[in-house]
Structure 1
Amino acid sequence: MIPDMKPTVSRSRGFTLIELLVVIAIIAILIGLLLPAVQKVREAAARMKCSNNLKQIALALHSHHDAYSNLPPGQWNTNGANVTYYNRGCWVPHVWSFMEQDSAFRDYKTYMDAGGSADSYPNAKRVFTGFVCPSDPFGGKIVTAASFPNQGFHGNYVACAATTVFNPAGDSTGTKRDGIMYAQSKTRFADVTDGLSNTLLLSELNVVADTTSHDIRGRYFNSYDGNCLFSTLNPPNTNVADVDVNCINVPGRAPCTVSGSNSVQHARSSHTGGVNATLGDGSVRFIPNGVDPTVYLGLGSRAGGEVAGSY
């Protein structure tokens, strides 16, 4: 006779509170380790996109030179400030027709009524993604404060005008500067005797959100006072303040002092450690914040005779 056998009951044991806390802690540690890596990958992709944007703009500038035998003026101003309309602008719209944006260039108004708003000029508010750095949270700004009127599209890419300060606001005479594109300039590649591979053409700036005032840095519509330009007076992302007729001081990211004379903008970016920049030959480099100031200063002149160092 087979003895009675009691069925075996399998009882699964749940997690204890301590074990659950350990698992949660491990997951939190893994997330903490992965997030910086994900952010680095994301920033690397954004920096590469930014670099490609600059490359395409440089190619368009070369096409402009092929068509007209000179680069467009860095900025221009024929009417000053105390008139019924402002007739002023910068180099940016001049390259759109070489970037498959013919209609934008044809329809773009280079002037606006004195004291007016970009609301009256719909094309001024059109955002060109090729001029926006994906790392800048305010790139492509039209207006960021309800209390302030629209001022048109603001981009991140600027042309190298000088190793010094720019012209005072409203100066239409185009006092000659030593960079490749400055007020009233019509630079030919033959004028760049330092060599196109040794001379900066383009770089970046940080766009600043408007509050109760307006920051003009990077404003392409109705441009003046060096909105679309930069200087190599100080290295990238310097703590030395920019000087502009309208700007908002953002220490660490985009410091600025308001003044109507001796304006200057420095190359700045939201990338870690430096800025993207394009040389006159169209090549794109990443210039670190710690670049030798003397070397960087020399890169800003077109015919200074400096011997380019490593950077």
Structure 2
Amino acid sequence: MNAKSYSRSAFTLVELLVVIAIIGVLVGLLLPAVQAAREAARRMSCSNNFKQLGLSLHNYHSAYNKLLPNGTGTGPEDAGTGNQRALSALPGLSPFMEQQALWSLFANPLMPEAGESPDNPLPNGSWPAFGPRTWLDLNEYDPWQTQIPTLRCPSDPGMSALGLGMTNYAFCLGDGILRVDYSPTSQWADRGVYRGLFMRNDPKGFRDVLDGLSNTVAMAEIATDLGDRELIGSVADGTNFGDNAMGSSTSICTDIADPTRPQFAEPSISLWSNGGGSRGSRWYDCKIMLTGFNTVLPPNSPTCVLGWGTAWRSGIFSAASRHQGGCHVLMADGAVKFITESIEAGNQEADSVAKDYNNLGQASPYGLWGALGTIASREVASLP
């Protein structure tokens, strides 16, 4: 019998290496597309959050014929009782965001749990309705620690160092720099600088928007601090700057960028590093550094507070996001737009509108971006 010969087919080592190399190239080409698709989904989710906030604002206005001020609450401002009228507009919007349970918890006296000691409690030992002063009982008062999912952009990974509820959506206080977040009852207030849709302790309505709802910014994204000195989430401390010089030269703020790494602050610049008091770190607190912005520098620019005044009420507070090239804004008519970093922002060396410069009532010096932040400056400005 003749022996039969058998042939066996198989990959050679060279062929296997070629196949592996091809797979590696394909994966390398595919990964950026997957990442881009994920960011597109996060960006869409972020836009949808803003649409929900827009509906909440309009439903609130339909119910009360006014918008909430970004600075409201209980007790006189400078008293030790209540929350010193320091709540942002977000707690009042919570029942219009399908957060009725949180609103009920927030709007009623709350008994502490074992081991908790409320600041200025009621006679029965409970927290008063609408909580204590906004910087106290951070680790004890439950509403302070509640995170509303609608208030977080999926593209922003920031987390509170104190476990507090955060926000990526802030209210527009106009195009002012000096005293822009002062209460109108303050002896140092400058009524002419309150040019945005929101201000402390003074609610505005849609009828106040003489420039048109579709031409006025109501809210915008802000980026939270990751602790890495990135400009969009960090806050340059007021000790870096002198008095009100920033009011006549915004380059004082933009110059904090590191020339070798322009997305980060220069190493010699001191930053505000309190995890309970940085951008977006307390959703319920009205301070402009926490839940506000002004239309001075374009989106994704630095934020710089002035060292005079109290509670970071003067400075440049920029809109920002971790989306590529700009951020979402909510117009007063409820439309959500994406504003790029290249938006026309006027003369950055001009005097800001303030009583200090005897220019109250003038058009915004900050171009289209500044004009979009004002409600009644009679500028003919709109997005293309």
Q: Deviations over 1:157-190 (max 9, x none)?
A: 1111111226477757274410111212311101
Equivalent residue in structure 1 for 2:185, among 158, 173, 196: 173
- Per mean C-alpha deviation after superposition, the further-off stretch among 44-53 and 19-28 is 19-28
The alpha-carbon distance between structure 1 residues 117 and 168, as it changes in their structure 2 partners (threshold 3 A), is: farther
1:153 matched to 2:165? The reply is yes
Q: Which residue in the other structure is 2:132 paired with?
A: 112
The alignment status of 1:216 with 2:233, answered yes or no, reads: no
Q: Structure 1 residues 63, 310: CA separation in 2 closer, same or farther (over 3 Å shift)?
A: closer
Measured in 2, the distance between the counterparts of 1:32 and 1:65 equals 51
**Pairing 1:12–2:9 present:** yes
SS of the residue 1:120 aligns to: coil
The answer to whether structure 1 residue 124 and structure 2 residue 144 are counterparts is yes
Partner of 1:242: 304
Residue type matched to 2:174 in 1?
A: A
Q: Is 1:277 matched up with 2:294?
A: no
Rounded to whole Å, the distance in 2 between the matches of 1:263 and 1:76 is: 21
Residue-pair matches, total: 286
TM-score by length of 2: 0.68
Is contact 1:194–1:305 with CA below 8 Å preserved after alignment?
yes
Amino acid at match of 1:10: S
Describe the superposition over 1:7-65 as per-residue Cα deviations: whole angstroms up to 9, x where unpaired.
1312224322x433332222221111111101111111111111010011111111111
Name the aligned partner's letter for residue 165 of structure 2: F
Rounded to whole Å, the distance in 1 between the matches of 2:322 and 2:221 is 9
From the superposition, tell whether residues 119 and 244 of structure 1 become closer, same or farther in structure 2 (CA, over 3 Å).
Answer: farther
Deviation at 1:113, TM superposition (A): 5.3
Q: Which structure 1 residue ranges, 5 or more long, are not aligned? A: 246-257
Instruction: State the partner residue of 2:343.
Output: 291
Residue 20 of structure 2 is aligned to residue 56 of structure 1: no
1:105 is displaced (CA, Å) by: 1.6
Q: Structure 1's 223 and 300: CA in aligned 2 closer, same or farther, altered over 3 A? A: closer
Structure 2 residue matching 1:276: 3-state secondary structure: strand
CA distance 1:209–1:85, change in 2 (3 Å):
farther
Larger mean Cα displacement after TM superposition, 33-42 or 258-267 = 258-267
1:302 and 1:119, CA in 2 relative to 1: closer, same or farther beyond 3 A?
A: same
RMSD: 2.7
Aligned to 2:41, the other structure's residue is in SS state helix
* SS of alignment partner, residue 64 of structure 1: helix
Task: Tell me the equivalent position of 1:251.
Answer: none
> Aligned match of 2:294 in 231, 243, 256?
231
Query: Aligned equivalents of 1:273 and 1:184: distance in 2?
Result: 34
Map of 1:248 onto structure 2: none
Q: Secondary structure at the match of 1:119?
A: coil
Q: Quick one: distance in 1 between partners of 2:306 and 2:48?
A: 29
- Helix, strand or coil for the counterpart of 2:219? strand
Q: What are structure 2's unaligned runs of at least 5 residues? A: 107-128, 229-272, 346-366
**3-state SS of the aligned residue for 2:195?**
coil
8 Å Cα contact 2:170-2:220 kept in structure 1 = yes
> SS of the residue aligned with 2:32?
helix
Q: How far 1:262 sits from its partner (Å)?
A: 1.3
Closer, same or farther in 2 for the Cα pair 1:261/1:65, shift >3 Å? closer
CA contact (8 A) 1:96 1:105 kept: yes
2:135 and 2:327 map into 1 onto residues whose CA distance is 34
The residue that corresponds to 1:197 in the other structure is 214
CA distance in 2, matches of 1:112, 1:209: 27
Whether the 8 Å CA contact 1:89–1:223 is kept in 2: the answer is: yes
Contact persistence 2:169–2:221 (CA under 8 A)? yes
**Conserved? CA contact 1:194–1:304, under 8 Å:** yes
Letter of the structure 2 residue corresponding to residue 229 of structure 1: G
**Larger fraction in strand:** 1
CA apart distance, 1:85: 6.0
Partner AA of 2:5 in structure 1: T
Aligned-partner residue type, residue 132 of structure 1: R
- In 2, the alpha carbon distance for the partners of 1:128 and 1:115 equals 19
Q: How does 1:75-90 map to 2 (within 5 A)?
A: 75-76=71-72, 79-80=76-77, 83=80, 86-87=83-84, 88-90=86-88
- Give the equivalent residue in structure 2 for 1:65: 61
Q: 1:164 aligns with which of 176, 181, 186?
A: 176
Whole-angstrom CA distance in 2 between matches of 1:166 and 1:231 = 11
Partner of 2:92: 94
CA contact (8 A) 1:46 1:135 kept: yes
The corresponding residue for 1:253 is none
